[in-house]
Structure 1
Amino acid sequence: MWKAALTELTATASLMFTLTTSIIACLDSHEVDPKLLVPFAVFIIAFLFLVVMVPLTGGHMSPVFTFIAALKGVVTLTRALVYVLAQCIGSIIGFFILKCVIEPRLAYTYSLGGCAISGTGVNYGIKSQDALLVEFTCTFLVLFVGVTLAFDKKRSTHLGLPMVCLVVAGAMALAVFVSITVTGRAGYAGVGLNPARCLGPALLHGGSLWEGHWVFWVGPFLACLVYYAVSINLPKEGLVWVDGEYDVLKLALGSSASLYNPSVPNSLPEERNAEFQVQV
């Protein structure tokens, strides 16, 4: 467990440094709409880290995935607590390295790549309740699409590790894309999806990052609880198709054909009636 926790710490620190620098580079580029590049960067980086880390520790790198894994019984509560502690420390280390090497102008402009719901000015940012709703919805989206597949042993084994990681990374990129495009508010950094990622820059950069910081913890954990309640009621077996069994038109045509069937003698009404009942 301690080796896995140390691996989670190292992976989280590396992920925070790589992901944040890539996002800042996209936003600071000279593209007409750089926000479209951010989900693509999230998809590529998340996929690479998941492919490497899933066989080692489960590829959590986020208290959200660790919490839902504990709820589902995939990891013990003790391991979950150690993982979350390692992820928070890893986030702090990753952002500390980033703060040491990043240009001060970029660190100030983008708040060290932290999770912010408001900037400076009256018309900047979004309300805390709106940010909470976005955080809850996007986290639930990632859990419902990605985790549902990842925790299904039969389907995940059938599809293979790369495909499962592709789906989870795609769900994360989709959530990021929705959060930064649908709101369209300056000063809002988009969905966090990872409370540890929001903790590091808040401690090292401070300022406006502490405003509404609770949103990036409460929203994901509420989404985990709701998803757990939904997941225990999902069908245990896959959908089995029976060709035309419940086709209303086919039932109607079958009933009409049975009323007049040349192959059935007219002198045997009991047999025709029995055939009609079987077809219905």
Structure 2
Amino acid sequence: MWKAALTELTATASLMFTLTTSIIACLDSHEIDPKLLVPFAVFTIAFLFLIVTVPLTGGHMSPVFTFIAALKGVVTLTRALIYVLAQCIGSIIGFFILKCVMDPKLAYTYSLGGCAISGQGVINSSSGGIKPLDALLVEFTCTFVVLFVGVTLAFDKKRSRDLGLPMVCLVVAGAMALAVFVSITVTGRAGYAGVGLNPARCLGPALLHGGLLWEGHWVFWLGPFLACVVYYAVSINLPREGLVWVDGEYDVLKLALGSCGNVYNTSVSKDHQLEEPSAGFQV
């Protein structure tokens, strides 16, 4: 367990450093719409880290995945707590290294790549940032989508074995990239950094950079954990097996054809019944 926790710490620190530098590089580029590059970077980096760490520790690297794994009984509560502690420490280490090597101007402009609902320079603007309740709704919805699409497949042993590790990691990374894409495009608010999906990722910059990152910081913890609870309630009621054809169940077309057939058979049987006495009399 301690070796797995150390692996989670190392993987989280490496992920925070790599992912944040890539996102800031995309946003600071001179592309016409750099927001389209961010989901691609998230997808690529998440896939690489998942395919390496899933066989080792389960590839959590986020308190969200650890919490839902504890709810589903995949990991024990003790292991989950140690994982979350390792992830938070790993996030702090990763962002500390990033702060040491990053240009101070970029660190100020992008708030060290942290989770912000009101970015630098827009806090006093009436149109800057996003309301905490709106950010909470986005965080909850996007996290639930990632859990429903990615975790439902990842925790299904049979389908995971049939599809293979690369395909499972591909689906989970794709769900994360989709959530990031939706959050940074549909809101369109200056100063809003998009969905966090990882409370540990939001904790590191808040401790090291401070300032506006503490405003609404609770959103990036409460939203994902509420999504985990709701997803758990939904997941325990999901079908355990795929849809199978059961006698007595018909689609709309067959139901209509079946009704016509029943009417035809009824009319034929009535005609037959009317003819039977005549036929009997002849006999």
TM-score under structure 2 length normalisation: 0.91
How large is the Cα RMSD of the aligned pairs?
A: 1.9
Tell me the equivalent position of 1:266: 272
Residue among 154, 157, 160 paired with 2:158: 154
Residue among 230, 233, 258 paired with 1:251: 258
List per-residue Cα deviations over 1:96-128 (Å, max 9, x = no partner): 110111111111110000000012332210010
Query: Structure 1 CA distance, aligned partners of 2:115 and 2:250?
Result: 52
In the comparison of the two structures, how many residue pairs are matched? 269
Residue among 121, 127, 133 paired with 2:131: 127
Tell me the equivalent position of 1:93: 93
Question: What letter matches 2:27 in structure 1?
Answer: L
**Aligned residue runs from structure 1 range 64-143, under 5 A:** 64-119=64-119, 120=121, 121-122=124-125, 123-143=127-147
Deviation at 1:84, TM superposition (A): 0.2
Question: What letter matches 1:256 in structure 2?
Answer: V
List per-residue Cα deviations over 1:178-235 (Å, max 9, x = no partner): 0000000000000000000000000111110000000000000010001001111111
Query: In structure 2, do the counterparts of structure 1 residues 92 and 257 end up closer, same or farther at CA, with 3 Å as the change threshold?
Result: same
Tell me the equivalent position of 2:40: 40
| Structure 1: unaligned runs, 5 residues or longer | 271-280
List per-residue Cα deviations over 1:115-171 (Å, max 9, x = no partner): 000123322100100000000000001001100110011111111111111110010
Query: In structure 2, do the counterparts of structure 1 residues 2 and 268 end up closer, same or farther at CA, with 3 Å as the change threshold?
Result: farther
Query: Structure 2 CA distance, aligned partners of 1:23 and 1:212?
Result: 21
Query: Structure 1 CA distance, aligned partners of 2:80 and 2:275?
Result: 71
**Aligned residue runs from structure 1 range 142-221, under 5 A:** 142-221=146-225
Question: What letter matches 2:266 in structure 1?
Answer: L
Structure 1 runs of 4+ aligned residues shifted over 4 Å read 267-270
Query: Structure 2 CA distance, aligned partners of 1:111 and 1:218?
Result: 21
Query: Structure 1 CA distance, aligned partners of 2:118 and 2:73?
Result: 37
Does residue 223 (structure 1) correspond to residue 227 (structure 2)? The answer is yes
TM-score under structure 1 length normalisation: 0.92
| Structure 2: unaligned runs, 5 residues or longer | 277-283
Deviation at 1:237, TM superposition (A): 1.6
Question: What letter matches 1:174 in structure 2?
Answer: L
